[in-house]
Amino acid sequence: MIVANDTYKPIVLLFIFNVLFSFHSRAQNFDDTENPWIIGLGVLIVHDSNTQLSKPFGFNDNYHFSNPFKFLVEKRFLNDFGLEGSLNFNRYKKGKTRNGILLDNPIDFLATDLTFKYYITNLLVNKYRSSFEGYVHVGLGSTFYDGDRGLNTNFGGGVTFYMSTHFRLFTQATGKKTLSPSPNRSNYLQYDFGILYRIPNKHRYPCHSCD
């Protein structure tokens, strides 16, 4: 069993802290305001009931939202593209529906994803004046259910909303299709919500302590 919410939590938190510190330190040396490093924190909801869209509002039975946590790192490039890596944690509670079956026991959920993004709205609006950026994305990932690993392909879209020079809100929907179907692995939908931080660079935002 993956006990991501218990045994591995200190390790995961330490890893995230090290990543945040490392990226902030490295970003001080980059002069790349158009294509920054971005870090994000958020929550996620998983729809894994195998009901497709026949019960879109069955929140109590079909949606999983227990101890949800998302951490991501993204690098923008060529102005309109991004490459993102993310860790996603959740927990399926007893009595919820998973793959058409009521759960007799809770399941710890962990997903790791590598995602390519295309900020398509930049073709339609001036990104320097717009209060949002919309994107489509594709990628590959692994999903772990109590240690049972399955590979999946991902596709979907999202929107980021301007808050300040460095901060954005984001919302995202992803369909994940399993490449190794079994009673313990299935296609599912994941919805993400959170906040992004665009790491400033040294030349535009001086870091006097870095000299």
Helices (H), 40-145: 59-62
pLDDT in tens, 12-43: 555 555 555 554 444 444 445 678 999 999 99
Environment class of residue 128 by beta-carbon count within 10 Å: exposed (0-12), middle (13-18) or buried (19+)? Answer: exposed
pLDDT in tens, 55-109: 666 778 889 999 999 999 999 999 899 999 999 999 999 999 888 889 999 999 9
Q: How far is CA 194 from the centre of its chain?
A: 9
How far, in Å, CA of 186 to CA of 175, rounded?
11
CA dihedral 28, 130, 120, 198 (to 10 degrees): 20
Query: Tokens 């330490």 correspond to what residue?
Result: 14
| pTM of the complete model | 0.80
Domain range summary for the chain, segments of one domain joined by +: 9-210
Q: Class assignment of domain 9-210?
A: mainly beta
Provide the β-strand partners of residue 69. 89
What single-letter amino acid sits at 195?
Answer: I
